[in-house]
Amino acid sequence: MTSRKLPNPPLSSSDAAPQRSRRKLARIPIGLLACLLAATSQIHGADFIWDNGAGTGQWNSTDANWSGDPWANSPSSDAFFGAVGGTIGLDEAIIAGNVTVGAATGNFANLTLSDGSLTASTLTVQGDASNDGGYAWNPTLTMAVPSVSITGDIAVGRANLEIASGSVTADRIIASSASADWARLVVSGGTLTATNGIDGSTNGSVTFAIDLNGGTLRAPSIHVADREIGTYNNAWFTFNGGTLEATADNSDFITLYGGNENAYIGNGGAVIDTAGHDIGINANLVAGGVGGLSKLGQGTLILGGLNTYIGPTTVQEGTLRIHRPTSRMEVMPGGLLELGFSGSSSLRVLVIDGVSLPPGVYNASTHPGRLSGTGSLVVSSGYSNEPWPGVSDGISSFRRMKYGYFVHYVFGGTRKSDGDWPSDANDMADRFDAEGFAEDLASMGVEYVIFTAWHFNVVCLWPSAAMEQWMPGHTVNRDLLGDLLDAVKAKGIRVLFYTHPRDGHDMSAADQITTGWGGPGVGADPDWNLFDRQKWNDFTNDIYADLIDRYGSRIDGLFIDEGSAAGDSWKVVDYPRLRQTIKSRQPDLLMMQNYYGTNYSCDIGATEVSYWQSWVPGTNPDNWPATGRPMSMVMGGNWSATQVPGIYTPRYNTMEMFRMTVLRAGVNSTDGGGVNWASGPYAGGGWETGVLEQMQEMGSWIAPIRPSICDTFPSQSWITPPNSTINGLSNGIVATRSASDGREFIHVLTPPAGNSLTVPAPADGRGYASASLLESGNPVDLVRNGDGSLTLTLQSGDAWSPRNTVIALEPVTVTWNGNTNDAGPGTAAWADWMDNFTGGVPIPTRFRSGDNVDFTGQGAASVVPWVADFSVGDLRFSGKDYHIRPSGAPILTLASGRMDVAEGITATFEEGAPGGSLTLAGSNGLTKTGGGTLVLDLPSQVTGNTNLTGGVLAVRPGALGSTGNIVFDG
C-alpha cells in the first residue's frame, strides 16, 4: 500500500559567513580535495578551488577568492566548490570549462549561485557516496543566476540541484558518473531547458527524482525513477505547481523505471504545455495531493496511463486526448477534449466554456469544437440511495450495503478548519454544518455513515435528559444528531450511531464516582477495587435508552465500541442487559462492535484497520486480506480530524481504496457493510487535505458501476471466501449479485493476458443468458463450455481496465408452457428433466435451478406440481391463475425473495393432498409486488422481512417464517 508522507522540507542554502583571511587555502578535507582534482584529471587547463579568500563572496576576475588567486575568465578554467558554501554572486559574465560542486567523498556546503551570467562546458553536483534518499539532509546547489548556459551536461548524484530563478540551459540533465544514486532536481522558479532531455539512467537506472514546484521545465523527453511515494528513499517525478513544456514531438514523453511507473500530482497541480507539439504520457499520473492537470499550448497531449489524480482536468489550449475521464473535466475556449474511447464513461462535473453542464450525455455531436472522438461523457445527477422497504430494518439493510463512511466527531479529537481546537463541546457542536456534511457524503456516493453519538468524556451530542440526571454538563445544547439525521437521510444515506459503553477512563474523578466507575485504573480499565458494575450499567443503559427512544426509528444501527483489545469488556459491560435495553425498543436495530475475539451480545463484529495494525501503508495492496466482517479502515490522519490543514493526509491512494472496496463487496459473508472508510470533518466544515477529494474520486469511479457494489450480496455462483486477497483470487475475479434485480456482476481485478476470460461453472448451478460491460453496455460474448464453465470475450475495441472491469450477467428467465394439469410427477411436472419451458440455457425447453420463472398463461396447465428441491430467482405470474402444489416433500428456495402477481391474477402456493407439504425457504425475505393476490397456504422457513408493495397477500399461520417483520410499502 502506498501512503502519503509530508513533502520534503524546502531546500535551503547555508548562511555561513564568508572567510575573511586573505591568501589562505580553504580547509578542504583531503578526500574531498582529491576527488575534486581527480574529477578533471583528464582535463587540461587551470583548476580553481573556491575558498572565498578575499571575503567578498563574489565570483569575478578581480577578487582573490580562489585559493589566493582571482578567477581567470576562460573556457579552459575549471571551477571547484566544496567546503565553503553560502551565497556567491556572479558580478560579471563568467566563462568556465567544467564547474564541479562537491565530490563523492565528503559533502559540500550548501551553496547558492546568484546574479550575473554563467557559460560553462559542464556542471556536476555531487554529494557523498553514502548519501541516500533522505533528500533534506543531502547537500544542495541552488541556482539563481539570470542566465546560465551549459554546453554539455548537467550531472547530479546524491545531492540536490534547485533552479530557483533565471534561465538555465544544458544539453542534457543526467545522473552523475561519480556516484549517481539519489539525485534530485527541483525547479521552483525560472526556466530550465534540457535540450536533449533528462535521463536518470545514464549511469545505471538509479533513483533520480524531479520536483516541479514552480517555474518551467523544458525538454523533449524525461526518463527518471519511481520508487513510490511514501516509501523511504523516495524518488519520483512530482508536479506541484510548475509548468512542463515539450520541445519536440514524442509519443512517450515521460518514461519511468522502478515502482509502478507513477508520476505524482501534488497540491499545486500539473501544468503541461505542448507548445505546438504532439506528445503522449503513458505513465500513471496519480494523487500526491489534491491538484489537477491543466493543458496549455497548441498541439496534442495524449494521456495513456491509469490516471488517478484528484483535482480537475482543464483543457485551456490545444487538444487533450483521454482514455478515461477524471471526476471533473473542463474545456475552455480554444481547447478540445478528444474522447479516445468507445461507449460512455461517467464523471461528476463537466464544464464547457465556463458553464457547468447539467446531468446528461455529452459527446462530439452535442458540443462540436469542444468535444471530439468516439466516446461519450455521462454527467451523473449525484448519488442517492433509494430506501429499501422497511422503516428501520437495520439488520437487513446493512447486509445489502458495501460502501460507507465512519466519522468520529468528538471534542478533544476534532480541530477547527483553521487548525485550532474548539473551546468546548458546545463550541464544536455549534460549528457542525449538517447540510454541508450531508452534501459531502453525497458527493462521496456512500450508502451509509457511522457517526458519533458520544465518545471522549461521555459527552452526548444531543440534549440528553438522562445524561443531565447522571452528569449535568455532559450534553451539548444543540440537537446535533437530530440535525444530522434530517440532512443526511434527505440524501438517501442511511445512518448508524457510534457509542462507547465503557469510556469511563476519560471522565473526571468526581464523575467516575458518580457513575460507578470508581476511579482510574490501569489503561482504559477502572479501579477494580472501587468499580461498581451495577451502577455503571444503570448509567450506560439509561443513556442508551434515551438515545434509542429519541432516534431509534430513524437509524439502522449502533456501533458499540469494544474498548479493550483483550476482548474482556464483559467485566465492565453487562452485554445481555444492554441488548435487552436496545432490542426491546427497536428489535431490528443492528448492533455491531469492533471484533476482538467475541461479539458479546452484538449481532455482528467489525474489523478495525488503522495505522497500528497489519494493513499498513507501503505494503502491496493486492496482498491485503478482506475479512468476512465489515471493515472500518482509517484513511485520514486518524479516526477524527486531528491533522492541521494543508498537509496531504490520506493514508492510502484512491486506487487502493477502490479495489479493496470492490474485493470486500464480493467476500462471502452475511454480515454486509463492506468497507467504511474512516476520518472526520473539521469543526465548522471542511476536511483534512485530500480526504474529501479522494473520497469524491472514489465515488466517481463507483458511480458508473454502482449496481455492482451497492445494494448487493456476495455471489453464490462464484464464491470468494473471507480473508481473500486480490493476488489470491481464483481467475482474478470477485463476484457480486444485485439484491434488487438478481443480476450477477463479475469484477475482473486481475485481467487475463488476452481478451477472453474463463470462469468456473457457477457453484449454485445458476444459468446465465447474456453478458455485457456494465459501464458501457457493450456486449460480451458468452460461451458455456462442456464442463459448465463460462468463457467471456470482449468485443473488438474493448479492453480490460487495470482498475476493475465489471461484466454484468443476466440470469436465465424461463417461461412455463406445460399443457397437462397433474398433481403428481407427470408430463406437466416442474422439474429440470421435463420439457415444459421456453428460454432455457443450455437446453431451451428446460428449467435449471436458480433460473427466474415466468408464468404468463402459456400452455394449458394451471396446476403445477413441484417435484424436487430447487432454487428459483424471481417468480412472475400473469395471464391466468396458478396453483403450485407439491409432489413428495420438496423445498422451494426463494433465492431473490421476489414474487410479482399481476392485477386480477391469483397465485397460490399450497399443501396439496395426497402428495405432501411443500416448504418455502430462503434468507432474503419475501417481497410481493403487483396488483394481484398471492396466497401462501403452506409452512415457511424464509428468514427476513415480508414486504408488501402492492395487491393482496393472504397467508396462513407460519407461512411467513419465524423471523422478520411485515412491512407495508404501498
Express each pLDDT in 68-104 by its tens digit.
Answer: 999 999 999 999 999 999 999 999 999 999 999 999 8
Fold classified for 715-811:
Immunoglobulin-like (2.60.40)
- Dig out the grid coordinates for 441 from the structure: 457524503
Sheet holding 919-921, edge to edge: 870-872, 891-894, 919-921
Question: What is the residue whose three cell numbers read 399450497?
Answer: 910
Residue 746: enclosing H or E segment and its boundaries? Answer: strand 744-748
pLDDT band at 963 (very low <50, low <70, confident <90, very high): low
**CA proximity to 865, closest of 822, 914, 918:** 822
CA–CA–CA angle 877, 883, 889 (5° rounding):
120
CB atoms within 10 A of CB 191: 18
pLDDT over threshold 50, residue 23: no
* Beta carbons of 892 and 849 less than 8 angstroms apart: no
Per-residue pLDDT of 811-822, as tens digits, reads: 888 888 877 654
pLDDT for position 613? 44
pLDDT for position 806? 96
**CA proximity to 841, closest of 814, 871, 809:** 814
Of the listed ranges 69-78, 466-475, 648-657, the least confidently predicted one is 648-657
Of the listed ranges 614-623, 794-803, 888-897, the least confidently predicted one is 614-623
Q: Beta strand pairing status for 837-838 and 813-816?
A: antiparallel
CA distance 216 to 188: 8
pLDDT over threshold 60, residue 152: yes
CA distance 871 to 922: 9
Average pLDDT over residues 225-244: 71
* Beta carbons of 777 and 343 less than 8 angstroms apart: yes
pLDDT for position 839? 86
Count the helices and strands in the chain (H runs, E runs). Answer: 11, 70
**CA proximity to 210, closest of 162, 280, 151:** 162
Directed axis angle between helix 480-489 and helix 434-444, to 10°? 40
pTM: 0.70
pLDDT for position 842? 78
842: preceding bond cis by omega (within 30 degrees) = yes
Per-residue pLDDT of 346-390, as tens digits, reads: 777 899 999 999 888 899 999 999 999 998 988 865 444 444 444
pLDDT band at 962 (very low <50, low <70, confident <90, very high): low
DSSP 185-216: EEE-SSEEEETT-EETTBTBS--EEEEE-SSE
Q: What are the backbone angles phi and psi of residue 666, rounded to the nearest 5°? A: -95, -5
Beta bridge mates, 270 = 293
Per-residue pLDDT of 658-682, as tens digits, reads: 999 999 999 988 889 999 999 999 9
pLDDT over threshold 70, residue 36: no
- Dig out the grid coordinates for 898 from the structure: 421476489
DSSP 297-311: SSEEEEE-S-----S
Average pLDDT over residues 295-311: 91
Residue 626 per-residue DSSP state: B
Instruction: Name residues whose C-beta falls within 8 Å of residue 125's C-beta, 6 or more positions apart in sequence.
Output: 101, 102, 141, 154, 155, 156, 157, 159, 160, 161, 176
Per-residue pLDDT of 130-141, as tens digits, reads: 888 778 889 999
pLDDT for position 197? 96
- Dig out the grid coordinates for 642 from the structure: 486531528
- Dig out the grid coordinates for 87 from the structure: 551565497
pLDDT over threshold 90, residue 229: no
- Dig out the grid coordinates for 743 from the structure: 443480476
Conformation bin of residue 421: beta by default, left when phi > 0, alpha when psi is -120 to 50: beta
Per-residue pLDDT of 206-221, as tens digits, reads: 778 899 999 999 999 9
CA distance 616 to 138: 28
pLDDT for position 967? 52
CA distance 475 to 797: 61
Question: What is the residue whose three cell numbers read 394439469?
Answer: 821
pLDDT for position 956? 78
pLDDT band at 313 (very low <50, low <70, confident <90, very high): very high
CA atoms within 13 A on the CB side of 821: 7
Return mean pLDDT, the chain.
86
CA distance 558 to 392: 12
CA distance 375 to 893: 43
pLDDT cut 70: percent of the chain above it: 88
Residue type, position 422, single letter: P
pLDDT cut 90: percent of the chain above it: 55
CA distance 952 to 82: 92
Residue 350: enclosing H or E segment and its boundaries? Answer: strand 349-352
Q: Is 399 exposed, middle or buried (0-12, 13-18, 19+ CB in 10 A)?
A: buried
pLDDT over threshold 90, residue 317: yes
Residue 244: enclosing H or E segment and its boundaries? Answer: strand 243-246
Per-residue pLDDT of 394-413, as tens digits, reads: 788 898 999 999 999 999 89
Beta bridge mates, 404 = 448, 676
CA distance 798 to 790: 19
- Dig out the grid coordinates for 894 from the structure: 426463494
CA distance 768 to 737: 13
**CA proximity to 103, closest of 41, 178, 160, 50:** 178
Per-residue pLDDT of 384-399, as tens digits, reads: 444 444 434 778 889 8
DSSP 681-724: BPBTS-BSTTHHHHHHHHHHHHGGGGGGTSSEEE-SSS-B-TTB
Per-residue burial over 952-968, b = 16 or more CB atoms within 10 Å of its CB, e = otherwise: ebebeeebbbeebbebe
pLDDT band at 42 (very low <50, low <70, confident <90, very high): very low
pLDDT band at 797 (very low <50, low <70, confident <90, very high): confident
DSSP 864-894: EEE-S-EEES-EEE-SS-EEEEESSS-EEEE
Which architecture characterizes domain 394-708 according to CATH?
Alpha-Beta Barrel (3.20)
SS3 86: strand
CA distance 285 to 927: 47
* 491 alpha carbon, distance to own chain's centre: 21
CA distance 604 to 445: 24
pLDDT for position 813? 86
CB atoms within 10 A of CB 232: 10
pLDDT for position 642? 93
pLDDT over threshold 70, residue 9: no
Domain positions in the chain: 88-309, 394-708, 715-811, 813-968
pLDDT for position 168? 98
pLDDT band at 824 (very low <50, low <70, confident <90, very high): very low
CA separation, residue 765 to residues 667, 710, 851, 895 (Å): 19, 24, 9, 12
pLDDT over threshold 60, residue 43: no
* Beta carbons of 924 and 899 less than 8 angstroms apart: no
Rg, C-alpha atoms of the chain = 34
CA atoms within 13 A on the CB side of 323: 17
- Contacts by residues 313-317 (CB-CB < 8 Å, ≥ 24 positions apart): none
Of the listed ranges 245-259, 784-798, 934-948, the least confidently predicted one is 934-948
More confident residue, 246 or 522: 246
Per-residue pLDDT of 235-282, as tens digits, reads: 688 999 999 999 999 999 999 877 667 888 988 999 999 999 999 999
Q: According to the per-residue pLDDT averaged within each range, which of 244-253, 704-713, 820-829 is highest?
A: 244-253
Instruction: Name residues whose C-beta falls within 8 Å of residue 75's C-beta, 6 or more positions apart in sequence.
Output: 95, 96, 97, 119, 121
pLDDT over threshold 70, residue 3: no
Of the listed ranges 393-397, 569-573, 600-604, 951-955, the least confidently predicted one is 393-397
More confident residue, 845 or 744: 744
CA distance 806 to 792: 12
CA distance 183 to 618: 22
CA distance 579 to 540: 12
* Beta carbons of 677 and 657 less than 8 angstroms apart: yes
